[in-house]
Structure 1
Amino acid sequence: MIKVAITGNIAAGKSTVEKILINQGYSVLNTDNVGHDLLDGKPDVFKSFPFYIDVAKEVLRAFKGYEILDESGRICRNKLGKLVFSDKTLLRRLESVIHPLVRLKIYEFFEEHKDETVVFVSVPQLYEAEMQYMFDKVLLVFSEDKYRYKRLLKRDGYTEEYASARINAQMSQVDKLLLCDDCIENDGTIGELKVRIAYLLNEYKHYKPKRVRKP
């Protein structure tokens, strides 16, 4: 089984790549969704492990004194996001709670799909969290900042200030280009994107890992 990480900065087009792969029958795990489910307290995030971790409780403890709850008393991801993406120290605090469990979910996903030829995991914070060593290949979805900025402003709740904060909170795309194995540019049409994906899929199907990635 070839394990491919899909990464890229916000609004680069990772979700579009994921949808194309899913429509072609490939298994894809979205770790952003895993993080959201953990924060929302969903009990069925893990299928293979007989325990339940109250992530919301851990986050509330880590962010005691901060306004991150909605009117119903649940964690408001929008409030939490605006808080952590304006302060890198708080972002690291949140990641220290979420990332270990995301790693565990990735291992569970690998085990569930171990008989498949190629599987994909979308990890936006791949390099920041040093998760690249879990994969055989790293695929970077790249898009120029001006296009990413425009896409963000179309999303609900995104002001110019918040969009800039989200972009600036991440490792630069140039640095990621120097580290990744493959790159897909997503500044063209869907048709062009599908052609690039088809080429890489053919490469991955015939790829044989030459080394074990180590931290």
Structure 2
Amino acid sequence: MIIIGLTGSIGMGKSTTAEMFREEGYPVFDADGVVHELYAKGGKAVPIIKAVFPDAIKNGAVDRVVLGAHMRADPLHLKVLESFIHPLVSESRTAFFEAHKDAKIVVMDVPLLFETGLDKAVHHIAVVTAPYQLQRERVLAREGMTPELFDSLLARQIPDDEKRKRADVLIFTDKGLDNARKQVQDIIRDLKETA
């Protein structure tokens, strides 16, 4: 099995790129998707978060806006949150690999691939990237996003230029979907040839 680590900073188009790998028939582990499930009504993280940040629970689910405010208020809060969220995500990742143990190629879509050390657990690293101005436009177009919040999110991530240096391959998303899809197909072809 070849494991592709797919990462990229906020607003670079990583989720759309991950979907392209899925469309090509390859299993994708979506770390963000797992966190959404953990935060949803009935999710495993809800009771833990309720014990630490009770006001962040609304209608039985985690209110990400309230939780985010706690994270920005005190950096220690983020460490506390990660201490119980990361093991739960890891549990889901183990189940994913068990379910797809016969796959030739799998993709791990992890926004904080380098920050969490998961870059050591993959065979190839693909970094999704775009010019900063386009990234900023995309992110600021999101509901509830502010320039300050965008800056604080970027500050928690390894800079794009550093991610590019650590990548085995870059996927540029500033030239349209067809261009990005062609890059994904080229990566798959190259990996199959070298396997």
Q: TM-score, normalised by structure 1?
A: 0.82
- Closer, same or farther: CA 86–178 of 1 in aligned 2, 3 Å: farther
Superposition RMSD on alpha carbons, in Å? 2.0
Q: Structure 2: give runs of 5+ residues left out of the alignment.
A: none
- 1:32 corresponds to: 32
Letter in 1 for 2:85: I
Partner of 1:5 in structure 2? 5
Is the Cα contact below 8 Å between 1:142 and 1:185 reproduced in 2? Answer: yes
Q: Percent same amino acid at aligned positions?
A: 28
TM-aligned CA deviation for residue 84 of structure 1: 1.9
Following superposition, the deviation at residue 17 of structure 1 comes to 0.5
Aligned counterpart in structure 1 of residue 120 of structure 2, from 133, 139, 144: 133
Amino acid at match of 2:57: L
TM-score, normalisation: structure 2: 0.89
Equivalent residue number for residue 61 of structure 1? 51
Query: Which residue identity does 2:180 align to in structure 1?
Result: L
Query: 1:203, CA displacement in angstroms?
Result: 1.5
In the alignment, is the contact (CA less than 8 A) between 1:86 and 1:165 conserved in 2? no
Say which structure is richer in helix. 2
Label 1:96 to 1:23 Cα distance change in 2 as closer, same or farther (>3 A): same
CA distance in 1, matches of 2:194, 2:90: 24
Question: What does residue 48 of structure 1 align with?
Answer: none
Are 2:174 and 1:187 aligned? Answer: yes
Distance 1:146 1:186, change over 3 A: same
Deviation track 1:4-63 (CA, whole Å, cap 9, x = no partner) reads 1111111110111112111222211211010111122546xxxxxxxxxx4222223343
Checking the alignment, whether the CA contact within 8 Å between 2:139 and 2:150 is kept in structure 1 is yes
CA distance in 2, matches of 1:141, 1:158: 21
Amino acid at match of 1:129: T
- Inter-partner Cα distance in structure 1 for 2:66 and 2:13: 24
Following the alignment from structure 2 to structure 1, what is the Cα–Cα distance between the partners of residues 166 and 72? 24
Q: Which secondary structure does the structure 1 equivalent of 2:158 belong to?
A: coil
Gaps of 5+ in 1: 44-53, 209-215
Query: Corresponding residue for 1:121?
Result: 108
Partner-residue secondary structure (3-state), 1:102: helix
Task: State whether residues 85 and 169 of structure 1, in contact with CA within 8 Å, keep that contact through their aligned partners in structure 2.
Answer: no
Letter in 1 for 2:93: I
Distance in 2 (alpha carbons) for counterparts of 1:136 and 1:23: 21
Q: Which amino acid aligns with 1:69?
A: I
The answer to whether the 8 A contact 2:134-2:174 is kept is yes
Q: Which residue of 1 aligns with 2:22?
A: 22
Q: Report if aligned partners of 1:68, 1:76 keep a CA contact under 8 Å in 2.
A: yes
Q: How many residues align?
A: 195
The 1-side partners of 2:141 and 2:194 are apart by: 38
The 1:200/1:174 distance shift into structure 2, 3 A limit, reads same
Please give the alpha-carbon distance, in whole angstroms, between the structure 2 residues aligned to 1:86 and 1:148: 25
- Code of the residue aligned with 2:14 in structure 1: it is K
Change (3 A) 1:173 1:180: same
Contact 2:42 2:61 in 1 (8 A): no
* Cα displacement string for residues 170-203 of structure 1 (whole angstroms, at most 9, x for unaligned residues): 1211222222222212221112112211111111
